[in-house]
Every structure is written in C-alpha cells, then in structure tokens.
Copies of this chain bind each other. A is one copy, B any other.
Amino acid sequence: MNLKIPSPKEIESAHERIRPYIHRTPVMTSSAINEITGADLHFKCENFQKAGAFKARGTTNAVFSLSEEEAVKGVATHSSGNHAAALSLTARKRGIKAYITMPRTAPDIKKKAVEGYGGVISFCEPTVESREETCREVIEKTGATFIHSYSNSQIISGHGTAAKELMEQISKLDAIVTCVGGGGLLSGISIWAKYENPGIKVIGGCPENADNSYRSFISGKLQSHKTPNTIADGLKMPLSELTFKIIQKYVDDIVSVSEEDIVEAMRLIWERMKIIIEPSSAVALATVFKKSDILKNRKVGVILSGGNVDLKNLPF
C-alpha cells in the first residue's frame, strides 16, 4: 500500500491522468448565502461529479495508476458509501472487476448504487473485524489490489485535484473549507492549496458526533474513535496515521459542528442554491458559519463533497 505523503507534482500528474474520466465540476455562488454569512463563498460542486461525489477523483487516479498485470486481477475495498460506488464505476471504465465488501445491513440504495456500476458485492457482518476479514479473503482468492478509501497516496492525490481545479477556476481565495471524516479529501486539498498559496487558510469541519479528527488535531495525537452517530454518514471513519500526518502539516484549523447546524446548512443550500447535497457536504457550510469571525469579508472556497442522499429519508 502506498502510504507516503503525496507531492504537489503527484497531484498534477493525477489531474492529467483522471481528466478524461471525471467532470471538471462547476463553481457556484449564492448572493443569498453570501448575505447571510458575510463572506464571498465559491462552492466547488463535487455533488455533480461522476458517481455523485469527489471520491471518483481518487479512485480514478488509483485505478488508472495500476499496471496491466495488477489491473487485470481487479480492485477491492470495504466500504458501503461513495467510495464503493466510485470504485465500481472507475473499475468498469478500465474494464476490470471491483470487489466490494459491504455489511449485510447496508441500505438497499447503497447496494443498488454499487451493483448499478457493476461492482461485485461480498456481504459481511456489520463489524470492523468481519469487514476486514471478508475483504482479505476476497483479495486472497482474486489477487485484486486493495484500494483503501482514504489511507492511500494515490487516492489522496486524486482528491487534491479538486483544490487544483477550484484554484484555477477562482483566483485569490483567502481560504478553503471542507468536511473531514477519514481525512482523504482534506489531505489532498491542503497539500495543493498550501503549495499554490502558502498564505491560504485551510479549514476542516467534522460533526460533533464524529469528531475524531477535531480531538486529534487539538491534542496533537491521533485519538481513539468512538462509535459515531451522525446524519453526515460520509464522515464516520477516523483519521489514519497518513491523513493525520498530512493534516498536522498543512491544515490550519479543524472545528466540529452540531447535527442541528448540519441540517440547517443543508436546508439553506437546497433552498437557496437549488442543488442537492448530502449532509457531509453541508458540514463545510456549517463550518463557515462557525468560523465566521475569521472568514467574514473573505473570499472562501467551499468544497461540496457529494450529493448522494436517499430521497425517502430526508431530515426536513
């Protein structure tokens, strides 16, 4: 597994590699939300990305970096979320198999997303042990390459292209704000942003109910992970050694936000911007509100990480 800190050069290469397969997502603004926050916000719409989330950037970079010999055996991961769907779609684009380990208890909508993109699902019990064991068995049987959803340099390099694109699209940003769960997105974003402009502020936001990254950041030590219970289902994983190291080096601040603030930010974006974002994306706007003291009157990039929500189960 590739576990070194990616260089800006690797993010540049990743961008060249993935460009034919992903969307250059638009950047949107909202005068109404600018008025409410007092900041000049530029939303990078990864909810419009292939498979509905930024994850396709990382998986495309990882899958298209494989040699022919590796690729032919397929790729594998354990995930029930956007990473699983993105990996399945990307594998299909390269014409190889994606083996996805997923708990039996995962919602139907997530199983269907993976199957819809041609992923091969192995079901496990809903425990970390069962998940890892099942995935290991699949890999032993198939020889597939394991692609971790965030603790992987190529995944992080791929995610970093979101910042590269955003800074090409909008010049002179004072800050970039994004959500943080396992930390793959924040890692990639921060490496690129600080490379291009060392003075830019990079701020991460996590749910109070899944605040491993916040506790780790303020204590300076990777903290243990409590069972998270948050509507932002994309942010339930803890930082890894790799992402924590990157975040300590390049990120200026991490804050945590309440469930109420997440839902309120989500409603604001749905109602005012007329776009569908998932709760994890809303964490970024909730973070802007929480850091309004330093972001007021600033030009701020906000990464909207994804738009995959179950319309039958909305928090409004």
Contacts and interface: CB of A to CB of B under 8 A. Distances in A.
A316 B275 CA distance: 17
Contacts of A276: 270, 274-276
Interface in A267-311: 267, 270-271, 273-277, 307, 311
Nearest to A50: B31
Contacts of A273: 48
Could you say how many copies of this chain the assembly holds? 2
A52 interface: yes
B267 A48 contact: no
A277 B267 CA distance: 15
A274 B316 contact: no
A312 B316 contact: yes
A231 B26 CA distance: 31
A36 interface: no
A274 B311 contact: no
Contacts of A277: 274
A47 interface: yes
A26 B28 CA distance: 10
A297 B255 CA distance: 50
Contacts of A28: 48
A128 interface: no
Nearest to A45: B274
A252 B48 CA distance: 34
A314 interface: yes
Given A26-B26, A312-B316, A316-B312, A274 B271 contact: no
Nearest to A304: B274
Interface string A79-109: 0000000000000000000000000000000
A316 B109 CA distance: 14
A26 to B, nearest CB: 7
User: What 7 A-B pairs have minimum CB-CB distances, sorted nearest first?
Assistant: A274-B307, A311-B316, A274-B276, A47-B274, A275-B275, A48-B274, A270-B276
19 contacts: A26-B26, A28-B48, A47-B274, A48-B274, A52-B274, A267-B311, A270-B311, A271-B311, A274-B275, A274-B276, A274-B277, A274-B307, A275-B275, A275-B276, A276-B276, A311-B314, A311-B316, A312-B316, A314-B314
